[in-house]
Structure formats: C-alpha cells, structure tokens
A and B are shown apart, each in its own frame.
Chain A
Amino acid sequence: MRRLLLGALLLLAGCEQQPAPLYLPQGDNYPEKLSEWGMLQRADGFIAPVAEALPYDLNTPLFTDYAHKLRSVWMPAGTAATYAEAHFDYPVGTVLSKTFYYPKDAQGRLLLNEQDDRDPQRGLELARVQLIETRILLKQQDGWVALPYVWDEQQQEAHLEWAGDSRELSLLNAEGKTQAVAYQVPDANQCAGCHEETAGQGVNPLGPKARHLNKDFAYADGTHNQLQHWQQQGRLQAVPAELQGVPQNALWPTPRAGESLEQQARSYLDANCSHCHNPKGPGRTSGLLLDPATGIGISYGLCKQPVAAGKGSGDRLVDIHPGQPDKSVLLFRVESVDPSIMMPELGRSAVHAEGVEVLRNWIASLDGDC
C-alpha cells in the first residue's frame, strides 16, 4: 500500500501535476508555501489557475499600483455557492486566489498598462510577467481567513508572510516614462482591514459579488457571462433567470455602450472605497458612505463637511463640491500619495490617473452649490 502511494506521488511529481486544491475546513495549519494550496499550475512556461478552479475577473477592479491580477475560485467537489444580490454564500472550504503581478518586456522591465495578459488556454507566460504576491482567502467553518503569500524573485514559490512585505518597483509606461511604486504587500490584519466590510462579521470576499462578476469572460472554450458560466458549471445556484435584476457595475477601463459617467464614477468608488465607506464598514465613522445603496446626497459626500480628515481635508470645505473637483476633499485624497492623506489608506503608493480623471469629470458634471 505504502509503495503504491509513493509510486503515485512520484508519478505526479514526474509530470509536474499539481495536487487538487487543499480542503481546509478548519484549523490553522495553513501552508507556508503557496504551491501547497494547489490553486495554480505551471506548464510550458505558463502559470494558470488549476482546471478545478474557475478563473474570473471584475467589471471595475480595485486599483493597486497598476498591478494586474489573476483571480480564481475553487469550491470543494459537489458544493456550490448560493446567489444573493449583496454577497454569495460560499461553501466551507472555498478558496479564492488572487495573484498580483506586472507585465514585463523582453528586457525584464516592468510595464504600466491595463492590457489583459491572460491567454484563456494557457494563462500567464512567466517570462512576460513578474509575480509579486498571491492572496488566499479561505472559507472555514469559523469564517474567512486572509493569507498573504509573497513570491520569490525567480517566481518559483511564494511564502506565507503574516506581516506583509514591501518592494520598490519601477514601471515603464507606453510613452517610455517610468513610474516609481513602493509596493506594499499587506499584512494579514491589513487584509482584514479592508475585507471586514461589516464590522463584527469578520473577513468576507469583496470582488466575487454579483455586481462585480456580472460580465463576460474569455474561458478556454469561449466567452460567457461569468454568473451563467458558474451556474452551468454547478458552482452557483439560485442565479435569477436571464440575469433578471442582477446588478452590474460599469466596465473598466472601457465602459459598455450607455454606461454613464455617473455609473462609471460610482462603480469606481464602489470598488475602491465602499468596502470601508459603507454604513457598517471601518469608514463609517466619517459619515461618508460610498456604497451602491447610498444615493447621491450629503452622505455620499455632496456638500458634506469632513469629520476627522485632519490634513486629509486639504483645506477644502466639503467632500464633493458639485461642479468643482478642486474644491472637493474626495479628489484631494485620491490625488495624494501621502499615507496620512491618501484614500484608500492602503494598497497604493501611486496615483491612479485614469481613475482620478473619471472622478474629476463626474464631479465637474454635477450641478448645484454648497
């Protein structure tokens, strides 16, 4: 028996087959090495989510210093998540994996762009990307756990770093200009700082929700709506027929036909701010609520005085001054990289010029005065 097992292991190692994703419904025996999760596979110089996992992306993602992201979700065999408009109910054992990387040119220089580098069949070409970190979100019986793994320079393995890490990077944009990035891998608490979007309820996934996932995705066998694909794969139940009433955020960076500036701005603020700035989130103490359920009024920042912004106010009197982006605290904070001023507080060291532009145009388009 033992010999048989050993033989099987050798066989697996021989063809670089990865083990199936790790099922860890309880306990804190988290792997020190990312490879032990079995969420990613390597073949022929490419890295990709394993076949058992579903790759996905989001309508408007969170900005994190222009990093690109390779996302996938795995649920234990025979289980499925249950659809709900706000949060899906994922089965115990679900693993979400998000790998942050930068595209790389032939000279090994990191690139600043918003292109999709993923080959639907093969994944990412390792020679053309620099992997930085992979974040694992694991659903256990007691709730979700966030685990940050940091890749080594050779992209052979990523290791669990509870206390996070930092990297000084230089990104080259299409015009040949470089952008310095002081990339911060969050520590496990900082992960939870954003992912605990409802105080007291612990960590929850932020991205894989209906409004973010409701989009087309290029799978190996063709392009499908992600929610419908998950449903067809038996991974999501109770999806409304024909996606009736399923919310949909605007598509970044190129909006769908008919998606207004307001929808784009609100999608951006949703993805980048509402995990904290919602009625139950860590940013609730400011009274500024940027979640999709809050209408555009004082609570959404319109003519609202900042409460505890300190120098984050930038000597501006209100969060959003209609028609006047440069009198709006909100714009001041997204345009800053000072840790005591900038918003979001974590996850970036560079200004997201394209995001700022959408917000600027939207505020400029608003009528009224304060």
Chain B
Amino acid sequence: MRLAPLSVLTLSVLLAACGEEPAPVANLDFQKDLQTQLIKAKPGTVIEIPAGTYQLDRSLSLKVSGVTIKGAGMDKTILNFKGQKSGAEGLLVDASDFTIEDIAFEDTKGDSLKVVGGKNIIIRRVRTEWTNGPATENGAYGIYPVQTENTLIDGAVAIGASDAGIYVGQSRNVVVRNSRAERNVAGIEIENTIDADVYDNVATGNTGGILVFNMPNLPQAGRVTRVFRNKIEGNNHKNFGHKGTPVASVPAGSGVVINSNDDVEVFDNDIGNHKTANVIISSYFSTGYTDLSTAESFDPYPEGIHIHGNRFGPGGESPDHLELKALKVSQFGLNGRLPDILWDGYVNLDILVDGKLPADRAICINNGEAGMINVDGPNNYKNISTDMTNYRCSLPPLPAVKLASADADQGA
C-alpha cells in the first residue's frame, strides 16, 4: 500500500529529470459524450458538467443557438487540452443566445473559447489559462468573441495567452467587467469594436494592460470605447507575442494602449508601475507597416481620445524599444522618467483647422498633473514635445453601453 505513492513519486521525479512529460490520456468517452450533447442540443438545452478535471484531445464545438453550458466553478470544472491533437481552439461557438459559466479551459493548443458571429453572448466566471505560465508557444487568445453583438464578459479570468487574454474583435455592444487578465501579452484587447464598456477589471503582469485597437482591412472600424474603474498595474512582462500580430508592437510596460481607434474615454482608473508609459496613444503607422498594407478607407489616426480623472502611479522610467530608451535618456536624463502619457504624434493633416484637430476629433488630457509627450513619430522623433497647450481640453462623456444581460446581473 505504501509503495504505490512512492513509485508514482519516483516516476514523476524521473520524468522531470529527463524533461519529458508523457502526453496526458484523453477521457475519450467524456469527450465524445460532451461533443454529442453539443451536436444534439436544442434551443433551451442546459449542458451541466460536474466538478472534475477532464482531459480532451480535440476541439469542442457548438452550432445550436439558445444553449447554456454550466460547470461547477472555474476552479472545479476544468477542461484540460494538453496534448490536443486537432482543432484550433478549445470550444468554438457559432451560435446566438449562448451562455457559458463556471468552467475553466486549460492548455488549449490554440485559442481557448472562441465565439464567432452570435448575438446575446454571456461569458461569466470562465477561466482560460495556460498552466505553464507565459510562453510563446501558448495559444493566442483566451476568451475570444469576434463579430458578436450584445456580449457580456463578467468575472472571467485569463492567464498566459500568447496574444490577448480577453480579446473582443469586430463586435458591437460589449461589456467586459469584474474580470482579471494576468501574464498575457495583452491583458484585455478591444479591437475594431463599436460600443464597449470595460470596467472594474484587473490587468496585471501583462506586456500591455488594456488595449483599444483598430486594424485595417476588416469589415468594421471600431469606435466608442470606455475604459474606467479598472486597476491596471505593473504590466511589464517581456513581449512574448509573435511578429506580425497586432500586439507584437506593444512595448513591455504599457498600461493602456489606444491604437488607431476613435472615441475612446479612459477615466477613473488606477494605472501605475509601467516601465514604458501608463498610457500610449498611437497610430497604425507606428507598427511598421506601410500604406501598401492598408485599404484606402482605413483611418489610422486615433481621434476623439479623452484621458481624464485617472490615478497614475509611477511609470516611464525604463521604456521598452530602443528609440524610446534613447529618447528618455536624452530628454529626461538617466534617472528621469517619461510622462504618464506617450503619443506617437501622427495626425491626419487633412482635417486640421488652424493647425489643430477639430474639437470633437481632439486628443484631450484632463488628468491633473499628468503630462503627455509627443514623440513626433512622423519626423523620426525630431521635434519631441511635452507642450500640453493644445491638449488640455475635455470631450463630452461617451454614452454608456446598454446591455440587458449586464443590467440584469447588476440587479441580482
């Protein structure tokens, strides 16, 4: 009786010693049964998965609308995909009126939970994690709704993604709240999305905390995002993303990054301890691509940006990227720091009025003592400026997202 645990121990020590873990054995019956339930589900079906850790080796998928998947808790019901043989995600959902809650996806080969094109999506208390910690070979996205409408992500946890922990792409009407994104390249990324509220989240230990991006050549340009009441702290992880991806250009030590997106309001957040900058405002042109890569209709300029009432902690003392390092030393000295907000300085010259952006397209900083540095990207960092005169302004508040599922939950 006492030998058995000993030999297991010995075996694991041996295995650790040669650095080779055997591929876990998949619970094939469980996998087949769950996938069959997903295929045969009808609107209204609730699929409950009891507590336990289940080993899977191929993707799950759901194509029926009106289905709920429920676990027993994000630390109790765990679908682990280590050694996955097929499928580019853990669970792929192409359906509307979908709810998933109290479950974890671990170690998927690609994305963890991808929802494509549905309406009325609720992702609640779901954890996606690569248990080996941050690594380039991890899957790209943890929680990944794309081209969805009316989406609530609430109380989620996303750890270790090699791109974004929580990534909302090309969607409309989205709330991301009460969630935690940790040790991903991007913690929470809102991309090409219209009307998103991101609040009461924690983003820490990522390369960049919260990103609001627009990418070219997609059917929908994003606008109107509010980022507020978040704790965005110490996102200094070395960028372990892959070149070519939108996050690859994010400098390590970025709190909030706004790239090419319009009408973004960042307020009432606690943002601190970022080696590059607490807030970065930038254009697609700063990511190294030329206009050969963008359709003519693409607007690469961040406009209508309002940063106000945030509480900034330390930041900017040791920026990532060589140009920024050199710039910091030359402008602020070895022991100095960059201002809280860094702007790459790209503006659409065609819309300037008397050398200034029109009021509603302006970049407005109304954040106490916090300063902004314009690094003059268009002229290769020639005319760096910390003059705030043109940027001390306010913009009218953006409207709150109206999302029935978010209201219902708040009342409960």
Interface residues of A (CB under 8 A from B): 162-164, 166, 182, 184, 187-190, 192-193, 196, 199-200, 279, 282, 284-285, 287, 298-299, 303-318, 329, 338-341, 345-346, 349, 369-370
- Complex alpha-carbon distance, A196 and B40, angstroms: 17
B163 touches A308 (CB 8 A): yes
From A189, A200, A311, A314, give the contact of B61 (CB < 8 A): A189
Interface residues of B (CB under 8 A from A): 31-33, 35-36, 38-40, 58-59, 61-63, 84-88, 92, 94, 108-111, 116-117, 136-137, 139-141, 144, 146-147, 162-163, 167, 169-170, 215-219, 242-246, 248, 287-290, 292-295
B162 touches A310 (CB 8 A): yes
B140 touches A340 (CB 8 A): yes
A370 / chain B contacts, CB cutoff of 8 Å? 289-290, 292-293
B117 touches A199 (CB 8 A): yes
- Complex alpha-carbon distance, A370 and B294, angstroms: 11
User: CB-nearest residue of chain B relative to A184?
Assistant: B86
A192 / chain B contacts, CB cutoff of 8 Å? 63
B246 / chain A contacts, CB cutoff of 8 Å? 305, 307
Chain B CB count within 10 A is highest, among A189, A279, A349, for A189
B87 touches A310 (CB 8 A): no
From B63, B170, B244, B289, give the contact of A285 (CB < 8 A): B170
B33 / chain A contacts, CB cutoff of 8 Å? 163
- Complex alpha-carbon distance, A294 and B374, angstroms: 40
B117 / chain A contacts, CB cutoff of 8 Å? 199-200, 282, 285
B61 / chain A contacts, CB cutoff of 8 Å? 187, 189-190, 193
- Complex alpha-carbon distance, A314 and B63, angstroms: 30
A339 touches B217 (CB 8 A): no
A305 touches B139 (CB 8 A): no
User: CB-nearest residue of chain B relative to A313?
Assistant: B244
A163 touches B244 (CB 8 A): no
A308 / chain B contacts, CB cutoff of 8 Å? 140-141, 144, 146, 163, 167, 169, 245
- A348 to B: closest C-beta gap in Å: 10
User: CB-nearest residue of chain B relative to A310?
Assistant: B140
User: CB-nearest residue of chain B relative to A202?
Assistant: B63
B84 touches A163 (CB 8 A): no
- A201 to B: closest C-beta gap in Å: 12
A189 touches B292 (CB 8 A): no
A298 / chain B contacts, CB cutoff of 8 Å? 216-217, 292-295
A346 / chain B contacts, CB cutoff of 8 Å? 86-87
- B96 to A: closest C-beta gap in Å: 10
B86 touches A311 (CB 8 A): no
From A187, A193, A317, A338, give the contact of B35 (CB < 8 A): A187
B40 / chain A contacts, CB cutoff of 8 Å? 162
User: CB-nearest residue of chain B relative to A301?
Assistant: B217
B244 touches A314 (CB 8 A): yes
B85 touches A182 (CB 8 A): yes
With A307-B169, A310-B140, A346-B87 already in contact, 10 other A-B pairs whose C-beta atoms are closer than 8 Å: A184-B85, A303-B292, A305-B244, A306-B245, A311-B140, A312-B140, A314-B244, A340-B109, A345-B87, A370-B292
A305 touches B293 (CB 8 A): yes
Chain A CB count within 10 A is highest, among B146, B242, B289, B295, for B242
- Complex alpha-carbon distance, A285 and B117, angstroms: 9
- Complex alpha-carbon distance, A199 and B116, angstroms: 10
B217 touches A299 (CB 8 A): yes
From B92, B137, B216, give the contact of A311 (CB < 8 A): B137
A341 / chain B contacts, CB cutoff of 8 Å? 110
A188 / chain B contacts, CB cutoff of 8 Å? 39
B147 / chain A contacts, CB cutoff of 8 Å? 284-285
A316 / chain B contacts, CB cutoff of 8 Å? 243-244
From B39, B244, B295, give the contact of A187 (CB < 8 A): B39
- Complex alpha-carbon distance, A287 and B220, angstroms: 10
> What 3 A-B pairs have minimum CB-CB distances, sorted nearest first?
A310-B140, A340-B110, A313-B244
B169 touches A285 (CB 8 A): yes
A285 / chain B contacts, CB cutoff of 8 Å? 116-117, 146-147, 169-170, 218
From A196, A279, A299, A338, give the contact of B109 (CB < 8 A): A338
A310 touches B94 (CB 8 A): no
B292 touches A313 (CB 8 A): no
- B319 to A: closest C-beta gap in Å: 23
User: CB-nearest residue of chain B relative to A348?
Assistant: B86
B146 touches A317 (CB 8 A): no
Given A163-B36, A340-B140: A329 touches B170 (CB 8 Å cut-off): no
B36 touches A162 (CB 8 A): yes
CB-defined A-B contacts under 8 Å, sample of 22: A162-B40, A164-B58, A184-B58, A187-B35, A189-B61, A285-B147, A303-B292, A307-B246, A308-B146, A309-B242, A310-B140, A310-B141, A310-B163, A311-B136, A311-B137, A313-B242, A313-B248, A315-B243, A315-B244, A339-B109, A340-B111, A346-B86
Chain B CB count within 10 A is highest, among A189, A310, A317, for A310
User: CB-nearest residue of chain A relative to B244?
Assistant: A313
B31 / chain A contacts, CB cutoff of 8 Å? 163
B87 touches A304 (CB 8 A): no
- Complex alpha-carbon distance, A149 and B151, angstroms: 37
Given A298-B217, A313-B244, A315-B243: A339 touches B35 (CB 8 Å cut-off): no
From B87, B137, B216, B293, give the contact of A339 (CB < 8 A): B87
A309 / chain B contacts, CB cutoff of 8 Å? 140, 242, 244-245
User: CB-nearest residue of chain A relative to B109?
Assistant: A340
- Complex alpha-carbon distance, A279 and B243, angstroms: 26
- Complex alpha-carbon distance, A316 and B246, angstroms: 12
- Complex alpha-carbon distance, A203 and B92, angstroms: 17
- B251 to A: closest C-beta gap in Å: 18
- Complex alpha-carbon distance, A339 and B90, angstroms: 11
- Complex alpha-carbon distance, A339 and B289, angstroms: 28
- Complex alpha-carbon distance, A307 and B244, angstroms: 8
From B116, B163, B293, give the contact of A304 (CB < 8 A): B293
- Complex alpha-carbon distance, A69 and B108, angstroms: 32
B32 touches A314 (CB 8 A): no
- A370 to B: closest C-beta gap in Å: 5
A287 touches B217 (CB 8 A): yes
B36 / chain A contacts, CB cutoff of 8 Å? 162-163
B295 / chain A contacts, CB cutoff of 8 Å? 298-299
